[in-house]
Amino acid sequence: MGTQFLSALLYVSAAIFVIGMGCRIYFWVCAPVPLKIVLTPAPKHIPGVIRRLTEEVFGFRALAKADRSLWIPAWLFHFSLVLLFLGHLGGLVIPHLAQTALGLNENQFEGMAQVVGGAVGLLAFVMLFWLLIRRLILPRVRWISTFSDYFAPVLLLLILATGNAMRFMGGLNIAQAQSFIAGWLALHPVAPPSDPVFTAHILLVCVLLIYIPFSKLVHIGGVGALSPTLNQRNNPREHRYVNSWNKANENSPTSS
């Protein structure tokens, strides 16, 4: 596939992703929160709220309370996705910076990428595969599943599989991949590595980027922290809370 096509597709997908997510988040941030609906017990002060959100976003605290057998694979899967993202960033986008920062020579850096990247890639695949199996074998979870609940994990599994294939079967010219990405970021696209697995990997990522803002995958990046049940302070008696579309002193309810 030509230089132009793959790069252009990647630009379009990235733009849809950034603009799509931006619009979604902007709408939610701007949407009014008429009442204090925080789930108690809840902190009264901002540092407590930050702690609560940190625990929820990075530790999946509620899920840990709900179901350990879901929490463990879910957390490991998401954690490994974050590591994979950082690995791609360090290994492909800013390799020299990352290498210097870690104080490794080129061979050591490559070796680390091979071991850690490989392990994490496998972990992500296995955990997500298990989550998909869980969805199929637990009757109540299967009952609530929609097309999107299967499409998203299958898409991600394919991305992980193609990534792992390149990692374990070799064949990918890392230097070529690095220059492809550097060129893409600099808006001077260069030829991608001529590896069909690499092409498939990129194409699938494009689908993912386009899919995220319009699906349940919109939950990425800690968007759950916008939930008023989690991010409000429990202080309705200490600080007057005002409903922006129905201020109390306009003494007529304006709901309909």
Partner 1 sequence: MKIPQLHPDAAVGTLPHRAKNDLMVSLGLAPELPPDWRAKALRRFDELLHQRRSLALYMDICVRCGACADKCPFFLGTGDPKNMPVARAELLRKVYRRHFTAAGRASGHLAAGEELTDTVLNEWFTYFYQCSECRRCAEFCPFGVDTAEITMAAREIMASIGLAPKYVTEVLKKAHEVGNNIGIPEAAWIDGCQFLEEELKAQTGQDIKVPVNQAGAEVLLVPPSADLFVNTDTMMGYALMFHAAGISWTTSSYASEAGNFGLFLNYEQLKKINLRIVDAARQLGVKRLVMGECGHAWRAAQAFMDTLNGPLDFLEPPCPEHICELAARLLRAGRLKLNRSANDGLVVTYHDPCNLARGGGLMEEPREILRAVVNDFREMPADTIREKTFCCGAGAGLLTEELMATRMNGVKPRLEAFRTSGATHLATPCAICKAQFPVAFKHYAINAQVVGVMDLLGKALVL
Looking at the Cβ atoms of 100 and 229, the one nearer to partner 1 is 229
CB of 124 to partner 1, least distance (A): 17
As measured in angstroms, the least distance from the Cβ of 181 to partner 1 is: 30
Residue 179 or 234: which CB sits closer to partner 1? 234
**b/e 55-86 (16+ beta carbons within 10 angstroms → b):** ebbeebbeebeeeeebbebbbbbbbbbebbee
- Asked if 207 is part of the footprint of partner 1 (rule: CB under 8 A), the reply reads no
Q: In the set 14, 70, 157, 191, which binds partner 1 (CB under 8 A)?
A: 70
Interacting residues with partner 1 between 166 and 205 (CB under 8 A): none
Scan residues 96-135 and list those touching partner 1 (CB under 8 A). none
Name the minimum Å distance from CB 10 to partner 1.
Answer: 22
The verdict on 27 binding partner 1 (CB under 8 A) reads yes
Contacting residues for 87 by C-beta, under 8 A, at least 6 apart: 113, 116, 117, 120
Residue 217 has, within 13 A of its CA and on its CB side, a CA count of: 20
Helix ranges (DSSP H) in the chain:
3-30, 46-59, 61-66, 68-88, 95-102, 106-112, 118-137, 139-144, 147-169, 174-185, 196-211, 228-231
Q: Decide: 78 and 56 in contact? Cβ < 8 Å.
A: no
For partner 1, the binding residues (CB under 8 A) are: 24, 27-28, 31-42, 56, 60, 62-63, 65-67, 70, 74, 138-141, 143-149, 214-216, 218-219, 223-224, 226-230, 234, 236-238, 240-243, 245-246, 248, 251, 253, 255-256
